């Protein structure tokens, strides 16, 4: 037993040895094994309030909920400090930062030395996906951040029941090591949001290990999420023949009671959470949430692809979320039990952010903790501010979210933020063409990562920052999956763009609940109820086939949203070529073929 181990311990020999090793090196004041109990979280929340990290919100506004304001330089994922340290450089590929694993450890291990001094080291056993899955995917996060413990308890299935299962089966697990990198000298006063200017988010895929240093922000610090469930899991999925994808999962039921499950890959801040919680504007249509960010898919016994949401909570973008745009998210949050990060606080102990209500309150405390009024120059909430809420509180949760083997996927959507070029909706000709559409997906950058916002970049399958291996091999894995199945059992693949702009800069399509009109067209395509017209980029709706009944937008504008423009696509073609050149020899030949096909089809349209 560790001398400073105040609770718990484990019979899992490998885990016991690793925890000892880390504790010896990082030198925390105490080690706490997280059980997940209610009393425990009350204690942890109280610690966070005392430390000034959490402000408790008014019970009658947001029960059992807290506001955290981060260090202003620790607000988003740090992609330029994120590494895939595979043994071979070519296994990280051109889209990832790479360093030799030993070299990286020689650099990082000294940073972890004594990094937890004056703090508590928490050991969080967790499982991504269901504990009763055929092959449950375990992880343990060691962290010196109580904020991470409180957030992980919402975002994943954690605690003693998980640890007991790991012990009983001597389970393999992903080792996630996290430190905010802010040791305290004896007697030193802590800050509300400890972190370090130096940040590293590092993955060792062959060892199933993650080392995260210097940041407390969600995507950098909640290691079950992007680090495990996407970067590490994508490598496991490649090796084991399944898929780990950055996708929402939605259950859609038509007025006749027929159901399809649809997955959608959109880059960060491009509408996954909103679409997953959509309230259709058309009478009789019903949408339910299965997942809002990550989808693990594998073939079921019937040869179809089944998807599970490996998470247990929602980590949603706050700004833009309001009763008009996402009433379901609002109802979810109203129930409380949530953590809000980097939003504004109202005088009556509630939260506010841009887009929550049309009229801002007369006075607020902004995300810097400063007084704010509607006359203030800056926004009250950080553009990447977040709510963290249990998924079970969502009023439209589908019971299948808790199905260990997931739901059969009928369609996959790819989408991004494009002001021009990409029509509201199109359908791929087949799986290989759909893989091409995904591999060439593009989007304007957002505040979810540090760096410039609004720059168009290619974001393959919305996975650019999350592919844990060579992007060429990743595209090849998609093609392999396609070859393993009967063509008619594979999900159909669609491309969407809610963000196309008119000449005056306004959105051409109203979006949000109205996106159900696009889902309806897809549904009818799946059912064979509607024809489509060929175009060089795939099948497009015939005029009038996207239901605009009761839509408050004139038909000419809808047509502009739906339009395939050969000129815009002629300008897109060299950008796609440039992107594919970056793959070098790693680009699968089928992608060259698809590119050539697109080019020929575009030339034919021009002629």
Ligand X SMILES: Nc1nc2c(ncn2[C@@H]2O[C@H](COP(=O)(O)OP(=O)(O)OP(=O)(O)O)[C@@H](O)[C@H]2O)c(=O)[nH]1
Q: Which residues are catalytic?
A: 270
* 226 lines the binding site for ligand X (CB under 6 A): no
| Closest separation in Å from C-beta 307 to Mn ion | 16
Instruction: Return the SS3 of 24.
Output: helix
| Closest separation in Å from C-beta 18 to ligand OAA | 25
Residue 37 backbone dihedrals phi, psi, to 5 degrees: -75, 160
Query: Binds 77, which of Mn ion, ligand X, ligand OAA, none (CB < 5 to 8 A, cut-off by type)?
Result: ligand OAA
Residue 453 CB: number of other CB atoms within 10 A?
A: 14
394 known member of a binding site: no
- Alpha carbons 192 and 195: distance in angstroms, whole number: 10
* 327 lines the binding site for ligand X (CB under 6 A): no
By C-beta, is 74 or 293 nearer to ligand OAA?
Answer: 293
* 320 lines the binding site for ligand X (CB under 6 A): yes
| Closest separation in Å from C-beta 447 to ligand X | 9
497 known member of a binding site: no
Cα 28 off chain centre by: 31
- Which residues bind to ligand OAA, rule: CB under 6 A? 77, 218-219, 225-226, 268, 293, 315, 448
| Closest separation in Å from C-beta 416 to Mn ion | 14
Stretch that binds ligand X, among 120-128, 319-327, 542-550, 579-587 (CB under 6 A): 319-327
80 known member of a binding site: no
From 430, 440, 435, select the one nearest 480 (Cα to Cα).
435
Stretch that binds ligand X, among 84-92, 161-169, 191-199, 266-274 (CB under 6 A): 266-274
70 known member of a binding site: no
| Contact partners, residue 208, CB within 8 Å, separation at least 6 | 172, 173, 174, 175, 232, 236
513 known member of a binding site: yes
Q: What is the DSSP string of 448-504?
A: TBSS-SS-EEE-GGG-TTT--S-HHHHHHHHHHHHHHS-GGGSPEEEEE-TT-B-TT
- Exposure class string for 88-126: b at 16+ Cβ within 10 A, else e: eeebbbebbebbebeebbeebeebbeebbbbbbbbbbbb
Q: How far is CA 551 from CA 279, 314, 505, 510, 522, in A?
A: 15, 30, 20, 9, 18
Residue in 319, 390, 416, 472 binding ligand X, rule: CB under 6 A: 319
| Closest separation in Å from C-beta 286 to ligand OAA | 26
For residue 151, what is the enclosing H or E element? Answer: helix 146-155
By C-beta, is 464 or 576 nearer to ligand OAA?
Answer: 464
Interface mask (CB under 6 A) for ligand X, residues 487-526, using x and -?
A: -----------xx-------x---xx--x-----------
Residue facing ligand OAA at closest CB distance: 219
Tokens 């049309």, residue? 358
* 266 lines the binding site for ligand X (CB under 6 A): yes
- Alpha carbons 398 and 395: distance in angstroms, whole number: 9
- Which residues bind to Mn ion, rule: CB under 5 A? 272-273
Structure tokens at 403: 């199905």
Query: Binds 270, which of ligand X, Mn ion, ligand OAA, none (CB < 5 to 8 A, cut-off by type)?
Result: ligand X
By C-beta, is 141 or 514 nearer to ligand OAA?
Answer: 141
- Alpha carbons 496 and 270: distance in angstroms, whole number: 11
Structure tokens at 157: 């299935």
Sort strands 173-179 and 209-213 into parallel, antiparallel or unpaired.
parallel
By C-beta, is 319 or 588 nearer to Mn ion?
Answer: 319
Sort strands 407-415 and 259-265 into parallel, antiparallel or unpaired.
parallel
By C-beta, is 74 or 366 nearer to ligand OAA?
Answer: 74
* 82 lines the binding site for ligand X (CB under 6 A): no
195 known member of a binding site: no
Left if phi > 0, otherwise alpha if psi is -120 to 50, otherwise beta: which for 127?
beta
| Closest separation in Å from C-beta 256 to ligand X | 26
336 known member of a binding site: no
515 known member of a binding site: yes
The CA angle 192-19-244, to the nearest 5 degrees, is 80
Interface with ligand X in residues 267-306 (CB under 6 A): 268-274, 293
| Closest separation in Å from C-beta 381 to Mn ion | 16
- Give the residues lining the site for ligand X (CB under 6 A): 266, 268-274, 293, 316-317, 319-320, 325, 448, 498-499, 507, 511-512, 515
Annotated binding site for GTP: 269-274, 386, 417, 512-515
Annotated binding site for Mn(2+): 226, 246, 293
Annotated binding site: 77, 217-219, 226, 246, 268-274, 293, 384-386, 417, 512-515
């Amino acid at each position: 037993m560790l001398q400073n181990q105040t609770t718990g311990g484990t019979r899992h020999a490998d885990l016991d040895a690793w925890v000892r090793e880390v504790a010896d090196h990082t030198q925390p004041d105490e080690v706490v094994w997280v059980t997940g109990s209610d009393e425990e979280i009350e204690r942890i929340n109280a610690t966070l309030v005392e430390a000034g990290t959490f402000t408790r919100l008014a019970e009658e506004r947001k029960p059992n909920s807290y506001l955290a304001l981060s260090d202003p330089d620790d607000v988003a994922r740090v992609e330029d400090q994120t590494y895939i340290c595979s043994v071979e450089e070519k296994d990280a590929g051109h889209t990832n930062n790479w360093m030799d694993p030993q070299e990286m450890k020689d650099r990082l291990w000294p940073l972890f030395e004594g990094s937890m001094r004056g703090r508590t080291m928490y050991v969080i056993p967790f499982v991504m996906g269901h504990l009763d899955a055929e092959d449950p995917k375990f992880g343990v996060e060691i962290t010196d951040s109580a904020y991470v413990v409180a957030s992980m308890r919402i975002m994943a299935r954690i605690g003693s029941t998980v640890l007991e299962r790991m012990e009983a089966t001597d389970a393999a697990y992903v080792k996630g090591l996290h430190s905010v990198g802010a040791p305290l000298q004896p007697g030193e006063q802590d800050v509300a949001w400890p972190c370090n200017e130096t940040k590293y988010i590092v993955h060792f895929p062959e060892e199933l290990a993650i080392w995260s240093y210097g940041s407390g922000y969600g995507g950098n610090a909640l290691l079950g999420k992007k680090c495990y469930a996407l970067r590490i899991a994508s490598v496991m999925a490649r090796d084991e023949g399944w898929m780990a994808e950055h996708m929402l999962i939605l259950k859609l039921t038509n007025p006749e009671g027929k159901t399809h499950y649809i997955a959608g890959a959109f880059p960060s801040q491009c509408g996954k959470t909103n679409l997953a919680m959509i309230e259709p504007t058309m009478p009789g249509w019903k949408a339910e949430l299965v997942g809002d960010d990550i989808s693990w898919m594998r073939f079921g016994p019937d040869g179809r692809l089944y998807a599970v949401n490996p998470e247990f909570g929602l980590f949603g973008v706050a700004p833009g979320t309001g009763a008009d745009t996402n009433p379901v998210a609002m109802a979810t949050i109203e129930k409380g039990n949530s953590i809000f990060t980097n939003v504004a606080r109202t005088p009556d102990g509630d939260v506010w952010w841009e887009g929550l209500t049309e009229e801002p309150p007369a006075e607020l405390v902004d995300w810097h903790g400063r007084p704010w009024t509607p006359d203030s120059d800056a926004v009250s909430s950080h553009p990447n501010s977040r709510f963290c809420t249990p998924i079970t509180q969502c009023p439209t949760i589908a019971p299948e979210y808790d199905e260990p083997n997931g739901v059969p996927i009928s369609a996959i959507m790819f989408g991004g933020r494009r002001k021009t070029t990409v029509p509201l909706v199109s359908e791929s000709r087949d799986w290989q063409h759909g893989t091409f559409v995904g591999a060439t997906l593009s989007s304007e950058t957002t505040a979810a990562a540090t760096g410039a916002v609004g720059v168009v970049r290619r974001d393959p399958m919305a996975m650019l920052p999350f592919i844990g291996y060579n992007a060429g091999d990743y595209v090849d894995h998609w093609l392999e999956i396609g070859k393993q199945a009967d063509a008619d059992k594979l999900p159909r693949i669609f491309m969407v763009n809610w963000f196309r702009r008119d000449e005056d800069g306004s959105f051409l399509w109203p979006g949000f609940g109205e996106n159900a009109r696009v889902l309806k067209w897809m549904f009818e395509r799946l059912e064979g109820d509607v024809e489509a017209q060929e175009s060089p980029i795939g099948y497009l709706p015939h005029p009038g086939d996207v239901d605009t009944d009761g839509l408050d937008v004139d038909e000419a504008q809808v047509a502009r949203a739906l339009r395939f423009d050969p000129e815009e696509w002629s300008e897109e073609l060299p950008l796609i070529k440039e992107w594919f050149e970056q793959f070098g020899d790693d680009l699968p030949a089928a992608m060259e073929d698809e590119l050539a096909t697109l080019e020929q089809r575009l030339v034919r349209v021009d002629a």
